[in-house]
Amino acid sequence: MQGSGRPPGPTEAPRRVRYGFVIDQTRCIGCHACTVACKEENGVPLGAFRTWVKYVEKGEYPHTRRHFAVLRCNHCDNAPCVTICPTVALYRRPDGIVDFDGRRCIGCKSCLQACPYDALYIDPDTHTAAKCHFCAHRVEKGLEPACVIVCPERAILAGDLDDPASEVAQVIAREPVTVRKPEQGTRPKLFYVGADHATLVPQLAETRGAHLWGQRPGEILSLARMATGWKTNGPAPATPKAAEALGQVAYDAPHEERPWGWRVSAYLWTKSIAAGAALVAALGTLWGWPEAGGRRLPLLALVFVLLTSVLLVVDLKRPDRFLYVLSKGNPRSWLVWGAWILMAFGAVTALWILVAAGGGGRVLPLLAVPWLALALGAAGYSAFLFAQAEGRDFWQSPLVLPHLLAASVVAGCAVAHLAYGPAQAVRGFLVLGLGVHLFLILAERFVHHPNLDALMAARLLTGGAWRGRFWGGVVVLGTLLPALLVLTGSAVLGGLGSLLALGGLYVYEDLWVRAGQAVPLS
């Protein structure tokens, strides 16, 4: 590869390389040759892009300017997509290239959530993830990536960042360079020269319904507008020409704005019910609550953990490979840990039902402790999974774990109230759980957020287009009214309150999952 330095001498050990890109936006003319070459070299299907050019226009006529940015995988030294991938389909090679093995991918879309740079997509032909892999097949033969050789202005350079003699290392040492989202700690290896920040930070540019040579789909546009619409509820802009000052997107490639849909929301909800039913049954057994030794709550826990597993498998783009999570598992991924926790939880739940059916009431207190631990694990492991989705800053909140635990308490007490009637202990814990849950969801809105993306998502949740569902469906109908109905002590009104509480939990999980993905990444 050009600029790789002199070869090692006969007595020298081969030096390990660390490949990276330098993109000089002062040279880029926005011709899309890199995009076309990448698609041709790698067989990228229609509608998908491994490298693309974004246009942002700034200024006020006649003093306007168009800025370009070439966007792609950053081949991070600390790549979050590698950590979260459950089957090691994504891996970092010794030469620093973050490569991808489509034969192992299950299409869980977690890598799309982990990448802060919007670099991955689901291939519509293979139904597996895909991205720029530095044209590794060319690099291994001493050739440069296709985008490098085709660029007419030599705006794209590739080489060994650790070799002082390489051109990329010399440019980085000589020119002021920037990277996208350095605060993420991913240590990206794509450096920009002369890039305007409005092209690299999507929140700095206005998105409209139509742009050069095309239109944005309605769903993508609505999310983009929501992500910037919160500003209208804040203080007036410093200048009436805010859009012109920051810029507006004139051209961009389409991207899947919400990889995780209703199935993920439903999975969080069904898992809360399964874990909550087990929590109530296990704690009730330890505290001597007679009904806890019955089979209603354990059966509910088993049904809903099975339903949770079905939702997880159905949501995969390659459900035929779901066993890869167990046979090819990545021990660093919380998707893998979650699968094992759910399996263990389901097994102990089934054992509990068998023991209870066989009249082994004396054994149940012994099973209650491991069942309780697994129920807590099933309820809370998703907090660590969403924390690994580092591209979504809203999901990095420390409130996620207590929220999931509180939701399980509410769900467990609600189904116990429906199964056994208005027992005083169940009513008390249900009201307490609703109060804690309300406190946590309001705290998510009003606490300090570490960056603009997290703040925007939180404001969308309570003040954007979803504010009616949040305040009316979650706060009033899903929390305050159920608490009042349960406190009446009436079996009928309490049952209605329990149903409303379960409905409020689902509405909130759905809004929370949507809000986390509403802020654009590129």
CATH code of residue 206: 3.30.70.20
pLDDT band at 522 (very low <50, low <70, confident <90, very high): confident
- Is the residue at 399 inside a domain? yes
332, two tokens? 């660093």
- Is the residue at 2 inside a domain? no
Clarify whether residues 397 and 496 are in a common domain. yes
- Is the residue at 355 inside a domain? yes
Q: Which residue has the tokens 């849950």?
A: 437
Task: Report the alpha-carbon distance of residue 105 to residue 271 in Å, rounded.
Answer: 24
For residue 499, give the 3-state DSSP assignment. helix
As a whole-number percent, the residues of the chain with pLDDT over 90 amount to 71
Residue range(s) defining the domain that contains residue 402: 262-518
Clarify whether residues 155 and 277 are in a common domain. no
pLDDT per residue over 381-425, tens digit each?
Answer: 999 999 999 999 999 999 999 999 999 999 999 999 998 887 888
**Domain endpoint, select from 192, 216, 251:** 251
- Is the residue at 328 inside a domain? yes
Clarify whether residues 193 and 66 are in a common domain. yes
Clarify whether residues 247 and 283 are in a common domain. no
Q: What is the pLDDT of residue 234?
A: 42
CATH number at residue 455: 1.20.1630.10
Task: Report the alpha-carbon distance of residue 127 to residue 428 in Å, rounded.
Answer: 48
**Which candidate, 491, 469, 492, 494, places its Cα nearest to that of 481?**
494
Q: What is the pLDDT of residue 220?
A: 58
Contact 152, 29 (CB under 8 A): yes
138-142, 219-223, 284-288, 333-337: least confident range: 219-223
Cα-trace Rg, the chain:
26
Please give the distance of CA 154 from its chain centroid, rounded to a whole number.
35
Clarify whether residues 210 and 332 are in a common domain. no
Clarify whether residues 397 and 466 are in a common domain. yes
Using the predicted structure, report yes or no on whether residue 10 has a pLDDT greater than 60. Answer: no
- Is the residue at 14 inside a domain? no
Q: How many domains does the chain have?
A: 2
Contact 475, 440 (CB under 8 A): no
Please give the distance of CA 228 from its chain centroid, rounded to a whole number.
20
Clarify whether residues 206 and 283 are in a common domain. no
206, two tokens? 């206005």
Task: Report the alpha-carbon distance of residue 81 to residue 293 in Å, rounded.
Answer: 44
What is the DSSP secondary structure assignment for residue 206, as one 8-state letter? B
pLDDT band at 232 (very low <50, low <70, confident <90, very high): very low
Task: Report the alpha-carbon distance of residue 230 to residue 462 in Å, rounded.
Answer: 10
- Is the residue at 233 inside a domain? no
Clarify whether residues 394 and 451 are in a common domain. yes
For residue 196, give the 3-state DSSP assignment. coil
pLDDT per residue over 294-321, tens digit each?
Answer: 688 999 999 999 999 999 999 999 999 9
Query: Of 459 and 78, which is predicted with more confidence?
Result: 78
Q: What is the pLDDT of residue 145?
A: 97
Clarify whether residues 33 and 151 are in a common domain. yes
Clarify whether residues 73 and 145 are in a common domain. yes
pLDDT band at 227 (very low <50, low <70, confident <90, very high): low
234, two tokens? 């804040």
- Is the residue at 68 inside a domain? yes
Task: Report the alpha-carbon distance of residue 218 to residue 278 in Å, rounded.
Answer: 42
**Which candidate, 123, 121, 145, places its Cα nearest to that of 134?**
145
> pTM, whole model, 2 decimals?
0.90
For residue 130, give the 3-state DSSP assignment. strand
End-to-end CA distance of the chain: 29
CA torsion sign for 230, 234, 239, 245 is negative
pLDDT per residue over 345-359, tens digit each?
Answer: 999 999 999 988 877
284, two tokens? 């009730």
- Is the residue at 7 inside a domain? no
Clarify whether residues 207 and 283 are in a common domain. no
Kindly report the number of other CB atoms within 10 A of residue 403's CB atom. Answer: 23
Task: Report the alpha-carbon distance of residue 79 to residue 99 in Å, rounded.
Answer: 11
